[in-house]
Amino acid sequence: MKVFALLSPTIRNSSTRRLFSVTPHRDTNIAIVGGGAAGFYTAARLLSKTTDTTIDIFEQLPTPHGLVRYGVAPDHPEVKNCMTKFDQVSSNPRVRYFGNVRVGGTLTLDTLRSMYSGVVLSYGASADRQLGIPGEELVVPARRFVAWYNGLPEAQGLDIDLRRVDRVVIIGHGNVALDCARILLTDPSDLASTDITAQALSALRESNVKHVEMVGRRGPLQVAFTTKELREMTKIPHLRILCDRDLVASECEKWASFVDSSRSLKRMMDLLMSHAGKDGGEKSFTLSFLKSPVEVTERGVRFQVNRLDGPVDQAKAVGTGEYIDTPSGLVLRSVGYATTPIAGAPFDERRRIVPNIAGRVTHNGDVVPGLYAAGWAKRGPVGVIATTMQDAYRTGDAIIMDITNGHLRSGLPRDSVDEGLRESGVLESCVTNEQWKHLEAFEVEAGRRVGKPREKVTSVDRMLDIIGV
């Protein structure tokens, strides 16, 4: 494996050069960019497998935990239990949390690389894929909708008046699309004891949404959501579930051995067949197959009808030339999140990931010493927290192997790092773990008063005010 030399840590500004030359130190320190699941699980691995490596986590928001806080649905509290593990990590004296610090802004990746033995890029995926069709500007990304009901500060200006919406079309057949459908169709009183924001809860209480149609370009055997999430839809009281049962039945018959070979797929098809078409109340959820959006207008979406081509596990949607217009007051696009480049780091534009070999970042195929990737930034925006954990552990193991083999140089001692961070303007405005815990206690107390696990603070200014930064 060749090692790429040009991107190896370069000491560009005079202050960090001085720090390096006057304070040689033999300890290994790691900077983690992004305080989401991948960052915390990488740190956890390093803590458990090394005795003296120190870790600094840099997170652009004052609050840690990334999509566990701002993505995972409020009615999935059990999924958020991993935050207890993250708390154990950040309370370890070898770990420091620097919230409210965006790497790639005032604090550059070069500065980090000049101070630390290694840097882990675990900054997730904060953009989303587009459809590339006329009228796209009328479409609301599911990523924004999710971020809105979960309290992400930058998503709070979401301009949707649910009082004026009766029908919603969601484009995409994944778990995020199902999360959005479930939140829109669940009785808001059932969400009142979750950590959904007060603003979202009040908008949902006034919502007039009665029908949600979730549309995918391929068939029932190619959906990306899981049986567990579909089952949750079937548990919503009085909700009518609709789909083309004839299509489901004929696809299951046509590809019987494929369906029989996967217990989860079989369960999902059985679930669909047993629930679709049953009587219910005034609200409905429709799963539509074999339709690709071609245009969005103020009135709704125009779809082209597709047929499937090729074997079931690689089936391609092919347009038939037939079109259907579906009226809708709101169109959500849920076709995937996307990772964006961070200044100074390699980026694979085609695959939209930080290029890497088993967690070691590469540039033109060569390993960049001391630079690692973990989580969605490493492998693309797919996979649940358990997958992200395994993946982060593998990155942690790569770092440990490089430490053991002497491939990582010593970093600066903490006081010198602090001097470098101060010179980068980070220290005055960063949020420490103690301050985050103070904010969290504030949120938990506010939540307790209204019967919720927490009432999230949804503005950065307000967060900093509470913390006193």
388 binding ligand FAD? (CB under 6 A) = yes
34 binding ligand FAD? (CB under 6 A) = yes
383 binding ligand FAD? (CB under 6 A) = yes
Q: Which residue has the closest beta carbon to ligand FAD?
A: 36
Q: Which of 49, 76, 407, 409 binds ligand FAD (CB under 6 A)?
A: 76
Q: Which of 11, 79, 83, 158 binds ligand FAD (CB under 6 A)?
A: 79
Query: Which is nearest to 88 in space by CA: 47, 124, 123, 53?
Result: 47
How far apart are the C-alpha atoms of 331 and 134, rounded to whole Å?
A: 13
The answer to whether residues 243 and 213 touch, using CB atoms and an 8 Å cutoff, is no
Q: Which DSSP symbol is given to 54? A: E
Got the DSSP string for 6-38?
TTS----SHHHHHHHHH------EEEEE--SHH
**Is 178 or 248 the residue whose CB approaches ligand FAD more closely?**
178
Is there a binding annotation on residue 383? yes
Strands (E), 271-315: 283-288, 291-296, 300-309
Maximum Cα–Cα distance across the chain? 76
460 binding ligand FAD? (CB under 6 A) = no
360-363 and 366-373 beta bridge pairing: antiparallel
Cβ of residue 380: shortest distance to ligand FAD, in angstroms?
Answer: 10
252 binding ligand FAD? (CB under 6 A) = no
The answer to whether residues 183 and 73 touch, using CB atoms and an 8 Å cutoff, is yes
Q: Which of 44, 67, 196, 269 binds ligand FAD (CB under 6 A)?
A: 67
**Is 221 or 345 the residue whose CB approaches ligand FAD more closely?**
345
How far apart are the C-alpha atoms of 430 and 368, rounded to whole Å?
A: 28
Cβ of residue 422: shortest distance to ligand FAD, in angstroms?
Answer: 18
Cβ of residue 64: shortest distance to ligand FAD, in angstroms?
Answer: 7
Is there a binding annotation on residue 438? no
Is there a binding annotation on residue 275? no
The answer to whether residues 397 and 45 touch, using CB atoms and an 8 Å cutoff, is yes
Query: Which is nearest to 114 in space by CA: 269, 222, 8, 261?
Result: 8
Q: Which of 32, 44, 58, 225 binds ligand FAD (CB under 6 A)?
A: 58
Per-residue interface string for the shown chain with ligand FAD, residues 139-168, x marking contact by CB under 6 A: -------x----------------------
Binding-site sequence positions for NADP(+): 173-176, 217-218, 229, 383
Binding-site sequence positions for FAD: 38, 59, 67, 103, 376, 383-385
